[in-house]
Structure 1
């Protein structure tokens, strides 16, 4: 039973208010998370404080070299939502509000959230759908809510039109990229689409169904998802992301394809210690693999999370950022903070 059930019981006079509140607190994901190692939250807040200090006045964050502003803004804003802040409440409300304004301004007439001279604009578009749809569900200002609905509706339409003939997505739309597609951008789009659907934005079922079939066709005999439908070898990072994508698309946890991919990841992904460097895109991998492990329940999560959290905290810089990787500290810090805070349960897209 959910916390809302007991709150409704109290409101109807069927349960004393004090008893209902005690049960709600006991059931709260955040209350449960706070029973864990307090250093996890301290580390995450330190990271978020660093992100807040790095936000530009116009509301955006950026990667190394001033790149990927749309994607970095959505990832950083999403990490702050995981802490519990919204556009109007919480420690990072101003930062989130500025990020929303920036992304709304970046919405183009054709529905793309981003700019055409970004040669990886589908990443930013997908992450923006994810972030803005989570905000849309909590937005209290009627005018801003209408604007979010308009932007997200057009973003979903653009996403469908950008899908390739094979059912995937590339770094740019099918039209701009000569129908090229690959696995990681496909995952980003599907998760963004599911987040939109969860928030009440209409999403054509056939678009998601074609994407799931694309992932199926990309799966190699060893259970790993290849770089693209054309081949490229099984990739642990894309496979982990694909499982999250399947769960988000509505596929059950016991779906045969998801289980096949999961077995591959369990053999291929080593999360801690020196072995964690044996594959590339470590942060990207665990950004999605953490979502998968959390969705699988406490038995899996309570084994996975303490180790991955320890590894993440071990690499944190004194100023709160994480600096590994070539994309830049905004990227790694936003992803690590999301992992550390995911079990707060504030965002519907990450809930069990």
Structure 2
């Protein structure tokens, strides 16, 4: 169950630990603030969803400026409506969900190899694995709630092919662990291993892995060896400080090259698999704690939409108590990483940055559709509707 805004307010602490936690407010004042914040979030979500509704193309897709990245934009926008509670058959935005699904299922888009993107689009021809991962996640989330037999069969067929495509697109390399054991590792690049010369990198690997986890959550078979190779890949890209580097370099990953957004995204994937007690997510989480001024900073940063999207999911999975369970030697609760601290830092920024007229967020080099979808995801996590985002 989500924590109340009152507890979030009392637990919220300082970014960087340099400002004292404010004194507790009177109960009535805290209750009033609680109600105001909830209303502000509900209003922001409503505005944002209406913006996406108005910008959906007649054939059901969304796109960034100039027709860019339609597969990814459609998947992320669709997720925002699913998180509101709408499905193919029910809910305020069921028409938008249905149109998006129909776009994916359109005969003209079906490909025998299971690719979801359209290589005729220049922005997808060189980056189609992003759309493959996000598209699989969206369709799996729809499939998991679908009760109509005919529609389920269509989605199941498409998802099985999409998962097969992701698995075949995975790279394959050998990595020697510190103890001298050789293991198979495999990530994903912007295109398949065959098309990209076995190149891989962290952001696409996370996207593909989350798509596979969503598919598995929905009951679609996913080979265990592909998941294992992906986890091995992320471990091989983890430095001694616990952060993840851009792509596999071979041997021991070097310190000083860590990418905070990738590290946050890796935590999210680890938590979605229920890995709270294993060593690897703890190393990633410790890196985030050691660099919390980067993760809990006010204002814009490089790749901050991506970082905030995944760090928010990780903190939601962490909740307000799990950090203490993972690190029992950390006694100062107000300094734990937590969902309450994330909300205290980011939600006011998100709410303030929304265009109150259009309902969109526009602080993005990619597209208002992109950042609006991401912010709607974060604002709706407390609903706990979709399995891929649940604790």
Worse overlay, 134-143 or 34-43: 34-43
Provide the aligned length of Structure 1 versus Structure 2.
318
Cα-Cα RMSD: 1.9
2:11 is aligned to: none
1:315 is aligned to: 353
Q: Is the Cα–Cα contact under 8 Å of residues 265 and 307 in structure 2 kept in the other structure?
A: yes
Query: Is 2:207 the counterpart of 1:175?
Result: no
* Correspondent of 2:371 among 323, 332, 341: 332
Q: Is the Cα–Cα contact under 8 Å of residues 41 and 341 in structure 1 kept in the other structure?
A: no
Worse overlay, 209-218 or 117-126: 117-126
2:5 is aligned to: none
Secondary structure of 2:385 counterpart:
coil
For normalisation by structure 2, the TM-score amounts to: 0.78
* Correspondent of 1:281 among 272, 296, 303: 303
Distance 2:281 2:239 in 1: 13
2:81 is aligned to: 80
Distance 1:126 1:282 in 2: 20
Task: Please state how far the C-alpha of 1:64 moved relative to its aligned partner.
Answer: 1.8
Which of the pair has more CA radius of gyration? 2
2:270 is aligned to: 246
Q: Is the Cα–Cα contact under 8 Å of residues 225 and 239 in structure 1 kept in the other structure?
A: yes
The runs of 5 or more residues in structure 1 that have no matched partner are 2-32
| Paired residues for 1:228-243 under 5 Å | 228-230=247-249, 233-243=257-267
> What CA deviation, in whole Å up to 9, does each residue of 1:155-178 have, x standing for no partner?
111111000013000001001111
Where is the helix percentage greater, Structure 1 or Structure 2?
1
1:115 is aligned to: 118
Task: Please state how far the C-alpha of 1:140 moved relative to its aligned partner.
Answer: 2.4
For normalisation by structure 1, the TM-score amounts to: 0.86
Worse overlay, 181-190 or 223-232: 223-232
Secondary structure of 1:214 counterpart:
helix
Distance 2:141 2:92 in 1: 17
Q: Which 4+ residue blocks in structure 1 deviate beyond 3 angstroms?
A: 33-36, 269-273
Secondary structure of 1:276 counterpart:
coil
> What CA deviation, in whole Å up to 9, does each residue of 1:51-106 have, x standing for no partner?
11000001000012210000000000001111111111111110010001111233
Task: Please state how far the C-alpha of 1:34 moved relative to its aligned partner.
Answer: 8.6
Query: Is 2:383 the counterpart of 1:344?
Result: yes
* Correspondent of 2:214 among 195, 198, 221: 195
Query: Is 2:154 the counterpart of 1:147?
Result: yes
The runs of 5 or more residues in structure 2 that have no matched partner are 2-33, 174-185, 322-337
> What CA deviation, in whole Å up to 9, does each residue of 1:315-340 have, x standing for no partner?
11121111112111000000000000
